[in-house]
Amino acid sequence: MAVTTKTKYWLMKTEPDVFSIDDLKASKDGSTHWDGVRNYLARNFMRDQMQWNDRVLVYHSNANPSCVVGTARICKTAYPDFTAWDPQDPHFDPKSKADHPTWYMVDIQFESKFSMPLSLAQLKEMPKLEGMELLRKGSRLSVQPVTKLQFDTIFKLGKPS
């Protein structure tokens, strides 16, 4: 008998001038590794909870306006973030070692781009999103869980192409 796992839902933040939804779509096979996460809670989500085929809301932070712009899927589960070992990489961490990594990453694959990006202000007006981590005052977590209801609400309103 095959073991099945329940799909989980996530929101992952990226700065569009560094890596956008369009960059993801244009990347080889529409996938990339999600490196550079340097928050322990976000790392733990990726390392311990993300599963193959989990769905992801892609959020452009530090944008005008900040907004959810599309979706992706987890296409490779957690493995050590090798950028932490490269002194030339902006995500270098001298405390992380190949034989005892501190940081992990996952691979994501493009799924859809929204025809209507949903701004943070719009999301705050939606009662179905009450309690969403992204909408919590002071929340800065770059990788965060969302509920199926939250994902479905945003997905439907984004009108993916």
Residue given tokens 């002194």 in the structure block: 87
Q: Say whether pLDDT at 15 is over 90.
A: yes
**Total tally of structural domains belonging to the chain:** 1
Is 100 within the bounds of a domain?
Answer: yes
The percent of residues above 90 in pLDDT, for the chain, comes to: 91
Q: Are 129 and 123 in contact (CB under 8 A)?
A: yes
C-alpha pair distances (Å), 151 with each of 13, 19, 143: 15, 22, 14
Q: Say whether pLDDT at 4 is over 90.
A: no
Is 0.75 surpassed by the pTM of this model?
A: yes
Is 29 within the bounds of a domain?
Answer: yes
Is 1 within the bounds of a domain?
Answer: no
Is 74 within the bounds of a domain?
Answer: yes
Sign, Cα dihedral of 82, 75, 57, 10:
negative
Which residues does 47 contact at the CB level (< 8 Å), separation at least 6?
Answer: 78, 104
- Residue 3 binned pLDDT confidence (cut-offs 50, 70, 90): low
Q: What is the pLDDT of residue 110?
A: 97
Average pLDDT over residues 33-56: 97
Is 3 within the bounds of a domain?
Answer: no
Q: What is the pLDDT of residue 66?
A: 96
Is 14 within the bounds of a domain?
Answer: yes
Determine the 3-state secondary structure of 107 from DSSP: strand
Q: What is the pLDDT of residues 87-101, one digit of tens each?
A: 999 999 999 999 999
Query: 60: part of which helix (H) or strand (E)?
Result: strand 55-60
Query: What CATH number corresponds to the domain at position 137?
Result: 3.10.590.10
Is 4 within the bounds of a domain?
Answer: no
The Cα–Cα gap between 25 and 82 comes to 23
Of 3-7, 23-27, 74-78, 122-126, the one with minimum mean pLDDT is 3-7
Is 37 within the bounds of a domain?
Answer: yes
Q: Domain span at residue 76?
A: 9-158
